[in-house]
Amino acid sequence: MITLHARAVALRVCAAFTFLLTANVLQAASSQSVSPGYMFERGGLTYVHLEGTPNQIGFQHGSLLADKIADLVKVYKIENLHRTKRDWAFYREAGKKILWPHVEQEYREEMEGIAKGVESKGYKLDLWDIVALNGEIELSQYYVPWLDKTTHAMNAPDNHPEGRCSAFIATGAYTKDHKIVIAHSNWTGYADGERWTMIFDIVPAHGYHILMDGEPGVITSDDDFGINSAGLMITETTITDFFGWNSDGIPEFVRSRKAMQYANSIDQYAAIMRKGNNGGYANDWLVGDRKTGEIAYLELGLKNTPMWRTKDGYFVSTNFARDPKLIKEETPGFNYNDMSTTENARRVAGEQMMKDNKGKIDPELAEAFLSSHFDSYTHKVTADQRSLCGHVETVRAGIPEWDWGAFYPGGAVTGQLTDSDMAEHMSLIAKAGHPCGEDFHAAPFLAKHPEYGYLKPVLRDMIAGPWTKFKNSDR
């Protein structure tokens, strides 16, 4: 028989247990609801602040941007099925089997966090959707062409890597204050480019504070414009007509994120990018160190990875390779003597602008560089495929070497710039839409060009915003 005293003791123990259990549940709920992650819209761009452990950063990312992530996956499903004739299930499987085994634990946890964050908002996307999204460029434009060639795939579509971006970096006697100025415009199709409008402010538990542009759901910038609190200033443009792949290498999206997060010098940046290089998303990297005023040009092929550097000069990059050995071995199909191509024409225009403005280069000149409609081949001012601010939808020629057909809806979709003084305070200036300020309207374009009707479910108006300044921990 239970005595009254024993029953009273039992009741007190039960009450204490209930109190502790309730307190723990409330504390757990409070810790999940009070997140350091936040976002806001400004100038057509979405600023996203993330901080904490990899899993925490990922969950904040996924939950804050769940609708945008699901929307971007829809875009890439449509684009890649049309371009590569392979469905999203193929990319999920390739991400799982080809990329995931070479992703280090920190970034596995971050992508797992993104998937959980997206799922928490009711979307039916999982980890393999997130991995495929992060590896979309290198899988669709590097792995698939290599796979088609090595397996002698029947009726495989012609598939070349898209060139992406116009950019420069300058220092020393070329800039107004003899410090570094860096600028970049992202070139891509308007369907995904209109959504490539994130500004990520990331404070990781380990490594340096990062401020970069990017896409929803992707752990690196992907068009690669960013700065870190160690003083590095980074961007790139893609090498046209590159061919090469190593399935045993580390994914480019992992190396580029790791380099931005952990490198504190140009040499460290280059070492991280070269180590385990898989050949995916082969780029010319422009890197500056505001602490020393030095800038570098790292040409990252698969077989060849030369680097040039200076404390008094500039580098222009518009999707062309410059190393003779790399050109011969890894870009055999591109004609470097054809000045009518977008890569060569923009290089000529960019080089001339640098020379004409020696000693004057500053953020205002950087905006003019990215906004320029000068066509160096025709010597006319016209918004086309050869202007630094690209408008390929205006020209019948398209860009054949990128598999962009006549009047393809693509070109410059954003602009970014910073200088040493802004970078010291973790700040940059960005613009949504064409750097020149012109808008793109989807409905009249599709009415005039029904051949791009497959994009109708995802092609939206791309409205240019103002040049807008952002900084770390912005509000």
Asked if residues 264 and 208 have their Cβ atoms less than 8 Å apart, the reply is yes
SS3 state at 464: coil
Classify strands 313-317 and 374-375 as parallel, antiparallel or unpaired: unpaired
Backbone φ, ψ for residue 392 (5° rounding)? -75, -20
Q: Residue 10 — very low, low, confident or very high, per pLDDT cuts 50/70/90? A: very low
Q: Give the CA distances from residue 54 to residues 105, 118, 215, 259, 331, in Å, rounded to whole numbers and listed in that order.
A: 9, 15, 18, 16, 37
Classify burial at 96, counting beta carbons within 10 Å of its beta carbon; exposed 0-12, middle 13-18, buried 19 or more. Answer: middle
Q: What is the pLDDT of residue 20?
A: 41
Classify burial at 374, counting beta carbons within 10 Å of its beta carbon; exposed 0-12, middle 13-18, buried 19 or more. Answer: buried
Q: What is the pLDDT of residue 375?
A: 98
Classify strands 38-42 and 45-52 as parallel, antiparallel or unpaired: antiparallel
Q: Give the CA distances from residue 413 to residues 253, 419, 464, in Å, rounded to whole numbers and listed in that order.
A: 20, 21, 9
pLDDT over threshold 90, residue 21: no
Q: What is the pLDDT of residue 12?
A: 47
Average pLDDT of every residue of the chain? 93
Give the Cβ contact number of residue 203 at 10 Å: 17
pTM: 0.93
Give the Cβ contact number of residue 133 at 10 Å: 26
- For 102, the token pair is 């070479």
List the one residue out of 157, 134, 155 whose CA is nearest residue 144: 157
* Counts for the chain of helices (H) and strands (E), in that order: 16, 17
pLDDT over threshold 50, residue 357: yes
Q: Residue 201 — very low, low, confident or very high, per pLDDT cuts 50/70/90? A: very high
Strands across the sheet with 410-419, in order?
313-317, 166-171, 181-189, 410-419, 427-432, 468-471
Q: Give the span between the Cα atoms of 120 and 136, in whole angstroms.
A: 23
Q: Residue 34 — very low, low, confident or very high, per pLDDT cuts 50/70/90? A: low
Query: How many CA atoms are closer than 13 Å to the CA of 419, on its beta-carbon side?
Result: 19
Q: Give the span between the Cα atoms of 149 and 187, in whole angstroms.
A: 27
pLDDT per position as a tens digit, 360-371:
999 999 999 999
Q: Domains of the chain by range and CATH?
A: 38-150 (1.10.439), 166-471 (3.60.60.20)
List the one residue out of 351, 360, 369, 353 whose CA is nearest residue 415: 369
pLDDT per position as a tens digit, 280-328:
999 999 999 999 999 999 999 999 999 999 999 999 999 999 999 999 9
Q: Residue 5 — very low, low, confident or very high, per pLDDT cuts 50/70/90? A: very low
